[in-house]
Amino acid sequence: MDGLSVLIEGPFNFLGVTPDINHICTISVYVIFKIGHRFMKTYMTVLRAILMLISISSLALGVLFSYQHWDGSDNLLWIGLLLFMIMVGDHYFNKRVHIRRKEDLSDRD
């Protein structure tokens, strides 16, 4: 038995159930929901902070390289601009989702 099958079949052995993809997906979804909303919010906040730092860094390096007339400055500026647009789009998308949730909650009351 290899390590992956032990990892997958281990939790099921005491039940006498042979795992298939449906069992694994069901348990995965259950674990994700049990981890909780708070963990996912923290995880997304960390990802957004990393995206912000990378976009600001690439824009700053692109400007510095452009000022020094170094090769690759255009690529860094485009990458930084693309990441910045993704960051702004994510912000407005989340704002819109938050407003919809707020409206749905007020409609229920």
- Work out the pLDDT band at 108, boundaries 50, 70, 90: confident
Q: Residue 50: is it exposed, middle or buried by C-beta count within 10 angstroms (0-12/13-18/19+)?
A: exposed
pLDDT in tens, 95-104: 888 888 888 8
Query: pTM for this structure?
Result: 0.53
Q: Enumerate the domain spans of the chain.
A: 1-35, 36-109
Predicted confidence at residue 20, as pLDDT, reads 55
End-to-end Cα separation, the chain, in angstroms: 55
